[in-house]
Structure 1
């Protein structure tokens, strides 16, 4: 949801436009069974560059730079659910994506523009850290400012 909401046609945080109908038309002949996965990887790379530019690289994690084992699990989940109408519905428009993102953000946060440290990365606390991260993104998308939550390495 964050990748979609940050794209050019929504909040314009990164200049990609991977998750839209024209992208479907372009990618479908090349990736007929994994179009959504290809879109996911494309938008993640675009978002990674912007996050790294604002946060920096080294001793931190953020939504687009997590340990490889976690990134593989997420990509497998996207691949396994790529035919899911529910997932595609959540990425159909800005309001649907914001509603879906709100489901992950089961906490409230204060406004914080730019890079914002949300804690120290720990496997046991990852679910909570991602909820806080989702809350920051949600507020930023709703209030039209940029926010880049990150976690420090332990």
Structure 2
């Protein structure tokens, strides 16, 4: 799997995870990426605080996405095939702190980066949004469409849950 695609997916997950939290757009009732939560986790889990934070916000977002989309033969940003999830976790361990410090300083900073990640893709809507079917080597295009769908939804104060089918 292309390392750049994994890095993009991790960055996208962190940014959408942050923007979807209660303190930003309130799509899910958690604040796992808040500085106060980070401090609490560092006290409770000194060696694994960052990974705990990643797992917690991912689970909160996955639950909301699964409720909106359903669970079946489709994937979304917070529920991907196991080998991709493992690669993303390893990438997060290396780059997560840099991404959170760079792009989560404010809601505006995060939304700006999300717009950049959309790479000029054009897709919008509300609720579940079917991105279509893709192959493993086309995940970069899916990532741009997913970023665009979230960016549009946040800017229009809607909730969007982009998903895709794949034989990955």
Alignment of 1:57-76 (within 5 A): 57-76=71-90
Q: Residues of 2 paired with 1:34 and 1:97: CA distance? A: 24
**Cα offset for 1:143?**
1.2
Q: CA deviation at 1:146?
A: 0.3
2 CA distance for matches of 1:128 and 1:150? 13
Deviates more, 1:10-19 or 1:71-80: 71-80
Which whole-Å CA distance do the structure 2 matches of 1:43 and 1:8 have between them?
11
**Corresponding residue for residue 52 of structure 1:** 66
Per-residue CA deviation, residues 119-150 of structure 1 (Å, 9 max, x unaligned), is 11310111100110000001111110000000
Q: Say if 2:132 is the partner of 1:98.
A: no
Which sections of structure 2, spanning at least 5 residues, go unmatched? 1-14
* Corresponding position: 1:129 with 2:142: yes
TM-score, structure 1 normalization? 0.92
1:36 Cα deviation (Å)? 2.5
Give the corresponding residue for 2:155.
142
Q: For 1:7 and 1:39, how far apart are their aligned partners in 2?
A: 13
- Measure, in 2, the Cα distance between the counterparts of 1:107 and 1:69: 28
Contact 1:35–1:82 (CA under 8 A) maintained in structure 2: no
Other structure's SS at 2:64 match: helix
Deviations 1:20-39 (A, max 9, x none): 11101210123334423221
**Distance of 2:123 and 2:74 partners within structure 1:** 21
Q: Aligned partners of 2:17, 2:77: CA distance in 1, in Å?
A: 10
Aligned length: 153
CA-to-partner distance for each residue in 1:47-83, whole Å, 9 max, x for gaps? 0000000000001000011111111111111111244
